[in-house]
Chain A
Amino acid sequence: MTGKDATTLLREMIRIRTAEETVARLYPEQEMRTPTHFSIGQEAVSVGVCQALEITDVAYSGHRCHGEYLAKGGSLLGMFAELYGRVDGCCKGRGGSVHLNAPEVGLVASSAILGETIATAVGSAWAFKMDGVSRIAVTFFGDGVTEEGIMHESLNFASVLHLPVIFVCGNNGLSTNTPLSVRQPRGHEIWKWAAGYGIASALVDGNDVFSVYEGAQKAVEHVRAGKGPYFLEATYFRARVHVGFETDEMKKFAFRSKADVEAGLALDPIARATRKLVADGVCTEADVNDWTATYLRELDDVVAAAKASPYPSTDDLLVGTY
């Protein structure tokens, strides 16, 4: 692997995981009153792609946006204060978990409506092309979105106009709890759809951050060279329920078999990257524990600051309207 230091990829994933596990731990307090779709299991997709981007490149996400928000450089306080509905939140308590944004680092917007932010990324890429700059727009979305007409309209448009956009499909095989088998043609592979639109595409293992990173580097190189859009599919395992902090077991969900869940959890991207880097002698288990402990300490401060942040004044209910 060339480019970023391998430990950076692992550390970024741990930073996101510790943040999400902190949210999960505090969520039952009922103080974060916002429907939350956890990124646990998805870290390699967010980190692998964002580490291949420049800060001037822009990204959009969907409802499961915490991982991408943090991977692109969004502030922890902005996220936690938003979950607590406070004025220091990135949306000042008006957006909630599914609308995280950090335009100062290029995370332009997240949206809870499937596919909306595929089109917006195409539009941002169009603006870059009009201006003749070498910036790239990336959109993160799930496999559920690929059934929406807007994805197909957007792929067509991006291909016809030859735009600098990367479509990143994080495929966890589920739309809420509905499996791909009842949603898409048998034997179909999502990344192959792109070829029908004349768009270069690839499939990577989304549980392996190094594969995602290398795939994203290729995509970035392709798009930056003016060769048009790129579609990257990354398969991963969603470790929690669709919305909420619980595991399938805690909710007694049975839409995935116990064996499938165990097999999926065994693919954990952080454990996997740790094993590889320790085996390669790049870092030690003790390093990983140190990083984790450091992030958790930082999170204690972030949570305290978020809880100390005031609620918006009801006098400001209409701030942001026209």
Chain B
Amino acid sequence: MRPLKYNQAISEATVQCMQADPNIFVAGIGIKDAGGMFGTTEEANELFPDRVFDIPNCENAFAGITIGAAAMGKRPLVVHPRNDFMFLATDQLLNLAAKWKYMYQNGTSVPVVTRASVGRGFGQGATHSQSLHALFGHFPGIYVATPCFPSDMKGLLASALTGDVPVVFIENRAVYNLEDDVPEELYTIPFGKGRIVREGTDVTIVGASLMAYEAMRAAEILATEHGISAEVIDPRSIRPLDEEIILNSIAKTGHLVVADTSWATYGFAAEVAAVAAEKGFSSLRAPVRRVTLPDSPAPVSKPLEDAFHPSPKSIAEACLEVLRSDVQVASHARDVQEAFAGPY
């Protein structure tokens, strides 16, 4: 074990999986550019230049191209520098890859793995700062993972590259710099298993992607300023969703706040709230609260952008609200992307 950043963990998982399986290749638009997709593909390109492909601009066709390659036994790892471009790939991923195993029933599957980043900070704006995890999570036949921490990402990416399921990873731009202890050897983490990243007794906070980290910072505020003990859960994959870990936690705390990097309506937070209402109703001692984006596209101007994203403060305030406390949160945690000097 040694500390690794999130992007380094991705790079290490990619390289170790490529060493183990010659059928894995990595492809994406501009993937061979200096910087290597936020440092996630540089080493793969150095070690396996013939298996890392820069490609023409064709998100729609390319999703299908990778499906056709997977049908012949290849294991494509597709990288989108921004997940917003995946709208163009949705037909192939959702109409074909996600339905393949069920619709064709011939024992084959097309385990196409897609990684896509979500912008945040430096005015990334409306079409570079939205997170499509709930959109992909709606459809059976595809796994969607949004792990927040490097050690989880390494194990889940290795699972994806050795499994038989199409997987989409949605990576918030702000998690690339997060660091934790990552085992050096290759290991897998199963989809559908969440992780308690901080134990607590008063309120459960479930956070998708970056919001697991923001929830930990909120828990710190609650502990130091209010003596409240919050339990933080990173579901790691949102489809399949580990319902048990959430239900067990609310059985203990009786209170649930869900924080998400996307909008509330029909979203991840709505799904977790529905699970709690359907299967954990008797555990809840107060209504569930969702901390999500306001109903607007992402703005550019800094004061607007700062107000747009959920923060440790807004998550902590939601926790106090479900605990029926009228105490104000005094702490002003620094914005997670404060140090990001842009441009991309």
Contacts and interface: CB of A to CB of B under 8 A. Distances in A.
Contacts of A45: none
Given A124-B68, A321-B141, A91 B62 contact: no
Chain B binding site: helix, strand, loop or mixed by DSSP?
A: helix
A6 interface: no
Contacts of B103: 91, 94-95, 99, 320
Interface in A152-172: 153-154, 156-157, 160
B108 to A, nearest CB: 6
A123 B71 contact: yes
A154 B65 contact: yes
Given A116-B92, A116-B95, A157 B61 contact: yes
B64 A116 contact: yes
Interface string A70-83: 00000000000000
Chain A binding site: helix, strand, loop or mixed by DSSP?
A: helix
Nearest to A108: B71
A122 B102 contact: no
B143 interface: yes
A320 B105 contact: yes
Interface string B58-101: 10111111111111111000000000000000011001100011
Which of A123, A157, A319 lies at the interface centre, i.e. has the most chain B CB atoms within 10 A of its CB? A123
Interface string A278-322: 000000000000000000000000000000000000000001111
A58 interface: yes
Interface residues of A, number: 40
B58 A156 contact: yes
A120 interface: yes
Contacts of B140: 321-322
Nearest to A82: B105
A124 B104 contact: no
Which of A108, A125, A153, A156 lies at the interface centre, i.e. has the most chain B CB atoms within 10 A of its CB? A153
A60 to B, nearest CB: 8
A137 B68 contact: yes
A101 B101 CA distance: 12
Interface in A119-141: 119-128, 130, 137
Contacts of B71: 103, 108-109, 120, 123-124
Given A122-B61, A137-B68, A116 B106 contact: no
Contact of B65 (A95, A101, A113, A122): A122
Contacts of A60: 68
Nearest to B143: A322
A49 B103 CA distance: 26
Given A128-B72, A156-B58, A123 B105 contact: no
A90 interface: yes
Interface in B204-240: 240
Contacts of B269: none
A109 B110 CA distance: 12
Given A95-B103, A116-B95, A123 B73 contact: no
A219 interface: no
B218 to A, nearest CB: 33
Contact of A123 (B67, B143, B165): B67
Interface string A81-101: 000000000111011000101
Contact of B58 (A116, A153, A319): A153
A149 interface: yes
Nearest to A60: B68
Interface in B158-206: 165
A130 B22 CA distance: 11
A149 B25 CA distance: 25
Contact of A157 (B25, B58, B91, B92): B58
Contacts of A116: 64, 91-92, 95-96
B89 to A, nearest CB: 10
A111 interface: yes
A123 B103 CA distance: 20
B96 A130 contact: no
A94 B65 contact: no
Nearest to B167: A322
B64 A118 contact: yes
Give the 7 A-B CB pairs with smallest separation, nearest first. Answer: A123-B68, A119-B64, A120-B68, A153-B61, A153-B58, A123-B65, A127-B72
25 contacts: A91-B106, A92-B105, A95-B103, A99-B103, A111-B95, A117-B64, A119-B61, A119-B62, A119-B65, A119-B68, A120-B64, A120-B71, A121-B68, A123-B67, A123-B69, A126-B65, A127-B68, A127-B73, A128-B72, A150-B61, A154-B58, A154-B64, A154-B65, A320-B102, A321-B141
